[in-house]
């Protein structure tokens, strides 16, 4: 059995250890000076402001039961709840704050291992980034997807079908009464989006990395198997502490490559790529923007789930979930990587085959290449990303004149202005919406197709921004342009009418303006005035990295291997 770091608090007969044991006794746990029971933290991000994470609290009793029956002591502590629905301008602004909160909880309290309770998009990577920075035994437990709504007999995909209905409403294809009827059906229960949105994508990503129980990331919130997984997660974390299984023994460069391969094959969210880059950056996982195209080779999208496909995440789980997907792409997967069970993926997926058609065969893919492509050029020197599996093939190579919007409010107020002269060949550009610019890089990159064009039957256009888009979104959207406009990236120099050339297959994104003109524009450019002069937003703007580095804070990302060392607190009188 591994040495318990919590014994630094409780062992001995001095006044400090005694007072610490009294604290535990006051909350119901009698410890002696020779305590051998691990203290397991349960980081609870549930909140009534966050319907995605709210059901997590229902699983805590079973997690605690698993911990207790395995001979350990569970302690629940609250952490920030990052909810994508109500948190503005975006929960992305607070992902790194959650990371810091979790890391400092684990540093400062007598905790030997942790169960992370997360579900909504940013709560999963945020809590994981904090935990792996301590390298304490860690397991992720997610609550799963909400039940599908029904609208006129058809299952509704969270987010994806909302965006489609919004376009129809703007194009006068549905009435106000129908729009209201649609709203009424969406309150279908708690849990994460039931499409291949960011929540599902990051849960599958963490499972592939090896830090949640295999086969569990896609279990729906209302599936009885989710409650059984809660108990099993409680027993697993105690075993991890006893066997000294830490994130550093699991999160190898190969594990990160595997996670990106699964995101490609499942048609995952572009946001998941940003989070994976950030997690990799915490532990020298060696993932870069170039990895996107490198690891797409030989892969195709096999998960027939919205927004790239037609099914929902419940269908994907019924088909076998992550193990079945890994089994199908096994020739392009590094199967000897370990999971928290101590087993390799080779052992876990041996004999596993997909059921039904939601996970397609290699000979019948949903999309013939990986889900994403990275493009570079003078407009995105550090790269940008497009989800090709949810874009229009005919727009993969395109040249057109730019229509530039200077921030979200400008775009919303002018997008339907007929005086702009927008045509289907125009390239819509949205800038100053990146990590520094807002701050927080909200999901504004799926710029609406102008109403006039929707009425003409146009459903997609080339759109470019330094923002993100929802994992449930779709369209030919070039996202995460780095460097962003707010720090002087080339996006800041685009003028209306400038020709922009996109060639996804060639990996190119170019602003077709001569160098002399660009130099003159650069000389005349001034950084936007920052409104935040204090508090977290100001700290964030001063230290956030660009999208190609996962938008982590510069002082949280280690620059040398020696910086990975976890520094424990001095345990004495407080």
Render pLDDT for 441-479 as a digit per residue (tens, 0 to 9). 999 999 999 999 999 999 999 999 999 999 999 999 999
d(CA 111, CA 428): 50
Q: What are phi and psi of 403, to 5 degrees?
A: -120, 115
Residue 421 has pLDDT above 70, yes or no: yes
What's the chain's average pLDDT?
Answer: 97
What are 367's two structure tokens?
Answer: 């999309």
Q: For 560-573, what is each residue's pLDDT tens digit?
A: 999 999 999 999 99
Across residues 101-129, what is the average pLDDT?
A: 98
Asked whether the whole model's pTM tops 0.95, one would answer yes
Reported as a single tens digit per residue, the pLDDT across 244-299 is 999 999 999 999 999 999 999 999 999 999 999 999 999 999 999 999 999 999 99
User: What pLDDT, in 10s, does the model give residues 73-86?
Assistant: 999 999 999 999 99
- The H-or-E segment that residue 78 falls in is strand 73-78
What's the half-sphere exposure (Cβ side, CA atoms, 13 Å) at 225? 13
Fold type of domain 37-147+189-349: Rossmann fold (3.40.50)
Each domain of the chain, given as residue ranges in start order, spans 37-147+189-349, 149-185, 372-524
- Quick check: 2 pLDDT over 80? no
| Buried/exposed 360-374: b ≥16 CB within 10 Å, e otherwise | beeeebbbebbbbbb
Count, residues in the chain: 574
Q: What is the pLDDT of residue 47?
A: 98
pLDDT surpasses 70 at 1: no
State which CATH number among 3.50.30.80, 3.40.309.10, 3.30.70.20, 3.30.450.20 fits the domain covering 372-524. 3.50.30.80
Per-residue pLDDT of 528-541, as tens digits, reads: 999 999 999 999 99
**464 and 478 in contact (C-beta within 8 Å)?**
yes
Give tens-digit pLDDT for 291-322.
Answer: 999 999 999 999 999 999 999 999 999 999 99
**pLDDT the model gives residue 93:** 98
**DSSP label at 249?**
G
CA distance 91 to 102: 16
- Taking alpha carbons only, the member of 374, 444, 477, 470 closest to residue 120 is 470
* Lowest model confidence (mean pLDDT) among 136-145, 185-194, 305-314: 185-194
């Amino acid at each position: 059995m591994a040495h318990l770091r919590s014994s630094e608090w409780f062992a001995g007969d001095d006044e400090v250890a005694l007072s610490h044991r009294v604290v535990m006794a006051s909350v119901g746990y009698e410890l002696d000076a020779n305590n051998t029971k691990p203290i397991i933290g349960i980081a609870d991000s549930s909140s009534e402001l966050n319907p995605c994470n709210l059901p997590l609290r229902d699983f805590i009793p079973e997690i605690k039961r698993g911990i207790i029956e395995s001979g350990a002591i569970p302690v629940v502590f609250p952490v920030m709840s990052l909810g994508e629905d109500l948190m503005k301008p975006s929960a992305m602004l607070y992902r790194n704050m959650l990371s810091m909160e979790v890391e400092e909880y684990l540093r400062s309290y007598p905790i030997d291992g942790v169960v992370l309770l997360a579900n909504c998009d940013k709560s999963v990577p945020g809590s994981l980034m904090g935990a792996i920075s301590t390298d304490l035994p860690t397991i992720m437990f997610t609550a799963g997807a909400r039940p599908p709504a029904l609208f006129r007999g058809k299952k509704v995909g969270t987010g994806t079908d909302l965006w489609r209905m919004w376009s129809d409403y703007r194009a006068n294809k549905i009435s106000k009464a129908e729009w209201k009827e649609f709203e009424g059906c969406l309150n279908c229960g708690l849990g994460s989006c039931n499409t291949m949105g960011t929540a599902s994508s990051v849960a599958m990503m963490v499972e592939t990395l090896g830090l949640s129980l295999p086969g569990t990331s896609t279990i729906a919130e209302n599936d009885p198997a989710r409650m059984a997984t809660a108990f099993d997660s409680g027993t697993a974390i105690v075993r991890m502490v006893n066997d000294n299984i830490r994130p550093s023994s699991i999160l190898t460069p190969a594990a990160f490559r595997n996670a990106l391969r699964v995101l490609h094959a499942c048609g995952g969210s572009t946001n998941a790529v940003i989070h994976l880059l950030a997690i990799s950056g915490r532990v020298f996982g060696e993932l870069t923007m170039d990895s996107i195209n490198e690891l797409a080779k030989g892969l195709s999208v096999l998960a027939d789930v919205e927004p790239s496909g037609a099914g929902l995440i419940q269908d994907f789980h019924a088909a076998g979930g992550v193990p079945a997907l890994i089994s199908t792409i096994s020739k392009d997967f590094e199967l000897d990587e370990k999971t928290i069970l101590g087993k390799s993926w080779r052992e876990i997926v041996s004999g596993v085959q997909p059921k039904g058609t939601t996970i397609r065969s290699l000979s019948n893919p949903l999309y013939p290449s990986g889900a994403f492509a990275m493009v570079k050029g003078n407009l995105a020197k550090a790269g940008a990303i497009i989800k090709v599996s949810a874009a229009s093939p005919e727009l993969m190579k395109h040249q057109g004149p730019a229509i530039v919007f200077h921030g979200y409010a400008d775009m919303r107020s002018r997008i339907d202005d007929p005086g702009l002269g927008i045509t289907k060949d125009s390239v819509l550009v949205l800038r100053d919406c990146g990590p520094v610019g807002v701050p927080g890089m909200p999901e504004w990159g799926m710029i609406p197709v102008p109403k006039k064009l929707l009425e003409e039957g146009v459903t997609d256009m080339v759109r470019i921004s330094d923002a993100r888009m929802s994992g449930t979104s779709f369209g030919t959207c070039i996202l995460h342009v780095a460097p962003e406009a707010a720090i002087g990236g080339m996006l800041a120099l685009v003028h209306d009418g400038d020709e922009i050339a996109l060639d996804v297959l060639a990996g190119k994104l170019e602003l077709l303006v001569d160098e002399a003109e660009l130099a003159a524009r650069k000389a005349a450019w001034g950084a936007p005035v920052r409104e935040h002069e204090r508090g977290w937003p100001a700290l964030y703007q001063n230290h956030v990295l660009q999208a190609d580095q996962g938008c982590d804070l510069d002082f949280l990302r280690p620059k040398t291997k020696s910086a990975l060392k976890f520094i424990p607190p001095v345990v004495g009188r407080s």
